[in-house]
Structures are given as structure tokens and as C-alpha cells.
Amino acid sequence: MAWMRAAAGRCGIEALLLGARMRLLTQSQVRDLVRMDVAVSAVEAAFVAHGKGQTQMPPKVYLDFPQHHGDLRAMPAAMGDAVGLKWVNSHPKNPILHNLPSVMGLYVLSDPATALPLAILDATLLTAVRTGAAAAVASVHLSVRHRTLGIVGCGVQADFLVEAHRVCFPEIQVVAADRDPSAAQRVVDRWGGQVGAVGDAAGCDIVCTATPSRTALVGRDAVMPGTHINAMGADAEGKQELDPALLKDGVVFVDDWPQASHSGEINVALHMGLITPDDVTGSVCEVVAGIAPGRPSPEAITIFDSTGLAIQDLALAQAVVAAAVEASVGLQLDLRQ
């Protein structure tokens, strides 16, 4: 990670030396620059920093637009020598209503010493990559077996979940489940494995859920002892993917308590009184940082409740901008003119 920190520092210095010229990166440029192995390392380092209290990350700010079936979120963060903001949406009906992605984003990377903007980059891909990487990091630190990977929900995010897990567990085999069998087949066509029902995917060693569901999809009886679950889809109040009995019986780790209690997988069960704060074991960031215990036994069902952290975006944005500087990619602008 030292090279990324150093490179990010060089980005800031270069911007100042070039008259505060900001770098603009399009989605295709970000796609060419981003690497999943680097993303996994960046997200793991962000977890460590957050677990050690070395970050600033206010809760997400939500603007809800029920009339448009979606919301917008502002996600600021500071870590080390970098500060940034992601402006991102969630509009599940966008593909049908407007032929647009459900999630789109923009990232602004700034120099904390001067507040000058260093880069503006498309964050649509950034969001998907760091979400996949976060799940894989959690699996590395919490799973006990990693022969099979169950994917529940085979939208755009599924590919990044599989790719990140293949970085960490190259031989892991995929079982894909989706209410649209063709979506599950698409994942299998790309990554191998097999199409199955939700119960089949939930029976894997590692299970990733990535849906916009507001009703529980994965039942308690479908999950075997020793399973690790990455609950990635619930990112707003009222969303849930897991049977509350799983949250009660499992060992639950959140990425950030304020976010998770408001909008993570635990939010519905918590607000309905089906679980209490005492049913949440702790922070996955502290586990990754090595300052809190993780899985208590091989038989335990571990659950990572992921809401998405702004520091993950910041860490990955730094890496992408560093790669852009190294490759001389991106349009340079001076916004002060």
C-alpha cells in the first residue's frame, strides 16, 4: 500500500506544480486503469485505517425521491493525505424506465492541505469494484471454507463479487441464483459454475447477496454451519435480504454501526425488535485491523453487513488517480479560469 500512498501524494504535488490543474477521468478511462487486485488491497487498507480510528467519515447524507423510485447520497471521507466525496444514486427502475444504470456516481478527490480539487472521475465503476473488493476482504478474514461461492442476485454487481473472490480464492466455484434465470446463466457463462435456486446458492461456503430486496430472500434453514455471508444489497432503510433468524443465530459484523443500524441488513430486524444491538458482534474493520476477534468457531455462521464505506471509495480513487498520473491519462483542467 505504500506505493499507492506515495503516488497519491505525488498527484497532489503535481496538481500544485501544474497550476492546480485538475485531472478528469471518464468511465472508460477508469475501467482501463482499475485493477481488482489493487482494489482488494486498497479496501483492506481502508478497513484497517477505519478500525484503528485513523479516518474521518461522517454518515451518508440521503436525499430521497420516492416519486422517482430512488435516492441520491453524498459520501465524504478523509484518510491520511487524501480527502474526497462521492455523489452516487440508487434508482433500481432506471434500466426499465430510462435505459440508464441503477447506480451512477461521480468522485471528487481533493488536496486536504489546500482544498484544491485534484481529480474528478466517474465513480459508477468505482462503486461496483470497491463493493466486490469489500466482500472479498470480509471473506478472507471471516470465512473458514472457500470451495464454493453462492451469488444471490445476478445483476451488474455479481461480476465484481466473483472477480474479487477469484483474486483471493482462485479455485472457488460459483453457484448463481436470480429470479431471472438468464441473469444467473450470464454469470455462469462468464465465470463457470452452475445456475441454481436461492437455496442452492445459500448452501455454499461463502454466500454473497446483492439485490435491492425489501423482503428476506435467504432462509435460515438453507444456510449450513460454518458458512460466511456477505450481505451487500441492503443499503437503505427498509431493505433486507436475510431471514432475521440468521441475524439472531449468526455472528454479525458491520462495516459501520451508524450506517448499518439505519440502512444495512440489520436495519429492519433491529427496528422491528427481532434483534437488539447486543446481537451485533462488532466491526469488520476492527477484525481486519487485528484489534478484535473474528469468527468464534468453525461451526459459526458469520455475516458481514456491508453498507459501503466512503473510505473504500477514497482509497480506490487514490489508486486510480495515481495510475492515471503514471500513464498520463485524463484531461487536465484549471477550474479557476
Kindly report, residue by residue over 315-325, the tens digit of the pLDDT: 999 999 999 99
pLDDT surpasses 90 at 335: no
pLDDT surpasses 50 at 2: no
E strand map for 162-306: 173-177, 194-195, 206-209, 228-231, 251-254, 280-283, 302-305
pLDDT surpasses 70 at 4: no
What CATH number did the domain enclosing 275 receive? 3.40.50.720
**pLDDT tens for residues 275-312?**
999 999 999 999 999 999 999 999 999 999 999 999 99
Residues 323 and 285 in one domain: no
Q: Identify whether 86 is a catalytic site residue.
A: yes
Compute the radius of gyration of the chain from its Cα atoms: 19
pLDDT surpasses 80 at 8: no
**pLDDT tens for residues 55-78?**
999 988 889 999 999 999 999 999
Structural domain boundaries enclosing 195: 135-309
**pLDDT tens for residues 288-297?**
999 999 999 9
Q: Strands 302-305, 228-231: parallel, antiparallel or unpaired by DSSP? A: parallel
Residue 20: the pLDDT is 56
Distance (Å, whole) CA 286 – CA 323: 29
pLDDT surpasses 90 at 241: yes
Residues 139 and 193 in one domain: yes
Residues 175 and 120 in one domain: no
Write down the catalytic residue from 52, 60, 86, 93: 86
Report residue 46 CA to chain centroid gap: 12
What CATH number did the domain enclosing 11 receive? 3.30.1780.10
Residues 21 and 93 in one domain: yes
Residues of the chain with pLDDT > 70, as a percent, come to: 94
Residues 122 and 176 in one domain: no
**pLDDT tens for residues 164-188?**
999 999 999 999 999 999 999 999 9
pLDDT surpasses 60 at 120: yes
Residues 223 and 149 in one domain: yes
Count of domains observed in the chain: 2
pLDDT surpasses 50 at 10: no
